[in-house]
Structure 1
Amino acid sequence: MIPVSQDYPSEIAVAAEPADERVWVPQAPNVWFRPLMINTVVGQWCNLLKVTASGVVSRHRHPGAVFGYVIAGRWHYHEHEWVAETGHFVYEPPGEIHTLAVPPDCDYMITMFNITGAMVYVDADGNQTGYEDAFTKIDMCRAHYERVGLGREYVDQFIR
């Protein structure tokens, strides 16, 4: 066995879809995320996003590239003609404003997203209305996990 340096965070191998529903953190009405990894060094997070109703999820932009993989259901951006369906890979270029929506004939989707930087929420005129980053994600997890009985430190296993 090759010794592992203690200077580096350990690897992660977790079931993406958790057996315990309490692991899903509420983000907005009908929207939850399940943290897979949160890297505080480079401001990156990987999570599953679960939406359980059709309609607009959010209008936002990212300063960095975003990569996604649709596990179940489908969704699209109002600003584009494509639809991301189960099994599709999605690349979002840095800086683009887009409005994520689940179509009217679909009321469920799960997508794995890999985001570096922030998610900046904007209004119809492009003005910032809020943001999320690795640290706000940690804060959301800590509050939720304490509230549901998993404990604030439950999120620590995902932090790198």
Structure 2
Amino acid sequence: MTETLGPPVGHVHSAALPWVTAGPVGLQVLRVSPDTWVVRNRFQAGFRLPKHKHTGGVHAYTFSGRWQYAEYGIDYVAGTFIYEPPGSIHTLTVQEDSDILFTIQGAFIEFDEQENISGIVDGESTLNAYYALCDASGIPRPEGILR
């Protein structure tokens, strides 16, 4: 039997990608494709992401800290893996400084206090924000982000 190798496995080492900071949020972009994006966030205690709805599923792994979705009241601590199904609506709140890896399919739609759509975040907009933060900090734009 002859095996045919598929395309090479893409890889990146997190040490090759800089961390950038926007207020209480640290951001590292690991992968962006048309349908999926992978980011690592370091959130400071007290941070709250606006209520949002996911158009696709989300996988998350917590390396350190404690956070939750305000609507569910479950603490996610170091070692916790979660899956959010498409259509999930929630408000991320951070109780302790937290380091979390997110694999996000699709986009998420942010809502303001009156439940109006206030923004849409996807992989490309996140990558553009990451590059802008690199530029503002004088950090060369990384070339190792998987596409």
**Under a length normalisation based on structure 2, what TM-score does the superposition of the two structures give?**
0.85
Give aligned pairs, total: 145
SS where residue 139 of structure 2 aligns?
coil
Matched, 1:100 2:92: yes
Q: Work out which of the residue numbers 93, 105, 110 in structure 2 matches 1:116.
A: 105
The one-letter code matched in structure 1 to 2:144 is: Q
Q: Which residue of 1 aligns with 2:21?
A: 26
SS where residue 110 of structure 1 aligns?
strand
SS where residue 58 of structure 1 aligns?
coil
Using CA pairs under 8 Å that are at least 6 residues apart, name the structure with larger relative contact order, 1 or 2. Answer: 2
The answer for unaligned runs of 5 or more in structure 1 is none
- Cα separation, 2, equivalents of 1:113 and 1:80: 18
Paired residues of 2:16 and 2:144 also in contact (CA < 8 A): no
Matched, 1:147 2:136: yes
The answer for unaligned runs of 5 or more in structure 2 is none
The one-letter code matched in structure 1 to 2:12 is: A
Q: Which residue of 2 aligns with 1:69?
A: 61
SS where residue 143 of structure 1 aligns?
helix
Q: Note the aligned Cα RMSD (angstroms).
A: 2.4
Q: Work out which of the residue numbers 137, 149, 153 in structure 1 matches 2:126.
A: 137
Q: Work out which of the residue numbers 39, 56, 59 in structure 1 matches 2:51.
A: 59
Paired residues of 1:25 and 1:140 also in contact (CA < 8 A): no
**Under a length normalisation based on structure 1, what TM-score does the superposition of the two structures give?**
0.78
SS where residue 144 of structure 2 aligns?
helix
